[in-house]
Structure 1
């Protein structure tokens, strides 16, 4: 894996090509630019630029090749959940142009928090988005969205244990992880049946939610995958618990879980959903481990040096859940 994939924005003419594409799309839509496309930030997983226009500020984004499905998925989500998904202006291939969605939720929470929608409301809308996609799994997979349904994750587990980097930082032995295969099989079996698969956002947290005029939108779908819906709350509840200084299974975290689960009671009683949620939470950690390992396999050496332990950390969370039971929130 020494020859990592080159990033598109490493090419000297990348911003010029992005600007030409953006201007062409704006012209088609009758929108006038008020300045040049300006590079805002580059990270190992994406480059983002902004442009001021007669229709407000717009954002251009291109993800790393390993996430090149993001533009198509974003447009798909936006069309079906226009009030909660990003507002897509145009997209082509891996290029995406969206409207400004307002300030980041994290920024607002660090201020006075005025006009900020509650996490209860955000989780209800997230569940509504997922419910809108339960009959569209084939379409999502056809867009190139990664398949992380429970059986697919079960199949990925042996390879992940064999190849995951950074275990020395946790630390945990590969043999110990490998021995947990049967326990993972039982967790997967517990999720069979009642609740249909859908799209999940592996990083639904306050840095990826943006708020404008009191309306929250979930952005950055490069870590969207097809999986069990409940796997999409692992990072969310861990982050909320951490930032509020809560215990993993505190009443506040359990309440947020139940608010989310209420939307799924058409498929099973709440008590049964809570049991399934614990296994889905576990698989959500496994989703993160697979995503990080997949990203690191194609990343630059600099990115590997910075994020090398991330997949192992998430895999150790899976181990903890399989050995000791799942605690909701952050451990």
Structure 2
């Protein structure tokens, strides 16, 4: 159901409901509030607030309905891979409310220059967590994480159904694909099918694909391990699809104009290391182009579900065409080159 979520999150009624849960929950967690509840950000996909307590700052988040599973997911992960996510202070899974302890500045923030070492630490930590989480599918999926199709025929059907739905939008709707975009997707369906088949044939288990794995969502947590936030975009999918965002970002940051540039090679090696006891390095590396292509569809999936939660007029201009743009990238001969104009 479409709702103007930014308007809702700015309303006194919503704030009163949140405070009625949060303040007793903080007290139950042994924290005394020492400052006002501050709404730090409102976007069409989520709102984030903060409050100071005698035990440090607490961050509070509510996602759009299609990604409200994040609260239950983080709570579940805490029992499987401790300290992978920001420490949970309180959870109200039915409302998708999540309160977590402050971790300081992320590894990539204004004024900071991320190092390749940070990227290595992040993908290595997350890759090992994926290996662990792959053995706990029932617990993770019970939180509500969407399962992305893996059978090649189901993947291509997912794509064609999505484009059909988008083409059915009124011509004036900015989310509607152009004729050229629809043709590009149709031309690339074979490439998508082939990539999905490569991943299925790999025999690697599905696991939690963060779907927004970058240093702005990572912190140096307790014990100096990388710790993560913002799991609302997540899907249950092939593990290597999580590496696309780090590898593409590195190609921009360090002028690696080829996928096997120096920085990317280090990060790739770290990202696949948790799986090399079963699959050799060459085999895992050969899977990357297919994982890269399919991961573009994961981004389309996330944007699609978020845009269904709200009326189009509240979708910010920068992201109003994200769904079809990511599908076009997935279908392109070179997904990375396709994304560059954006």
Relative to the length of structure 1, the TM-score reads 0.88
Q: Deviations over 1:88-112 (max 9, x none)?
A: 111012000100011022227x336
Measured at CA, do residues 76 and 248 of structure 1 come closer, stay the same or move farther in structure 2, by a change above 3 Å? farther
> Which of 219, 222, 225 is equivalent to 1:210?
219
Aligned with 2:305 (options 294, 311, 317): 294
Aligned to 2:165: 163
Distance in structure 2 (CA, Å) of the matches to 1:113 and 1:230: 22
The alignment of Structure 1 onto Structure 2 pairs a total of residues equal to: 322
1:310 paired with 2:322, answer yes
8 Å Cα contact 1:248-1:330 kept in structure 2: no
Q: Distance in 1 between matches of 2:338 and 2:52?
A: 39
RMSD: 2.5
Cross-structure match for 2:169: none
Aligned to 2:120: 120
Name the SS for the 1:47 alignment partner. Answer: strand
Q: 1:33 to 1:27 in 2, by over 3 A?
A: same
Q: Distance in 2 between matches of 1:26 and 1:261?
A: 39
| 1:329–1:252 Cα change, 3 Å | farther
> Residue 304 and residue 162 in structure 1: after superposition, are their counterparts in 2 closer, same or farther (change >3 A)?
farther
Residue number among 272, 279, 299 corresponding to 2:290 in the alignment: 279
**1:270 corresponds to which of 276, 281, 298:** 281
Separation in 1 of the partners of 2:248 and 2:56?
A: 35
Map residues 1-331 of structure 1 onto 2, 5 A cutoff: 4-7=2-5, 8-93=8-93, 94-107=96-109, 110-111=111-112, 118-151=118-151, 153-164=155-166, 165=175, 167-168=177-178, 172-192=180-200, 193-211=202-220, 214-249=224-259, 250-300=261-311, 301-303=313-315, 305-320=317-332, 323-324=333-334
CA distance 1:228–1:201, change in 2 (3 Å): same
Question: 1:261-308 CA deviation, whole Å, 9 max, x = no partner?
Answer: 121112211111111222111111111112212222222313154422
Rounded Cα–Cα distance in structure 2 between residues aligned with 1:329 and 1:240: 17
Distance 1:38 1:176, change over 3 A: closer
**Partner Cα separation in structure 2 for residue 330 and residue 180 of structure 1:** 15
Shift in Å, 1:130:
0.5
Question: Using the alignment, how far apart are the partners of 1:245 and 1:312 within structure 2?
Answer: 27
- Contact 1:146–1:225 under 8 Å retained in 2: yes
How far 1:49 moved relative to its partner? 0.9
Counterpart in the other structure of 2:171: none
Deviation at 1:230, TM superposition (A): 0.9
**CA deviation profile, 1:162-206 (whole Å, cap 9, x unmatched):** 2343544xx843133124333322211111242111001110112
Report the CA distance shift for 1:112/1:290 in structure 2 as closer, same or farther (over 3 A): closer
Distance, in Å, in 2 between the alignment partners of 1:245 and 1:98 is: 36
Counterpart Cα distance in 2 of 1:167 and 1:304: 17
TM-score by length of structure 2 reads 0.85
Cα 1:254/1:125, change in 2 over 3 Å: same
Cα offset for 1:42? Answer: 0.8
Q: Structure 2 vs 1, CA of residues 275 and 293 (structure 1 numbering), >3 Å: closer, same or farther?
A: same
Tell me, yes or no, if the aligned pair for 2:106 and 2:216 is still in contact at 8 Å.
yes
Q: C-alpha separation between the residues in 2 aligned to 1:39 and 1:240?
A: 32
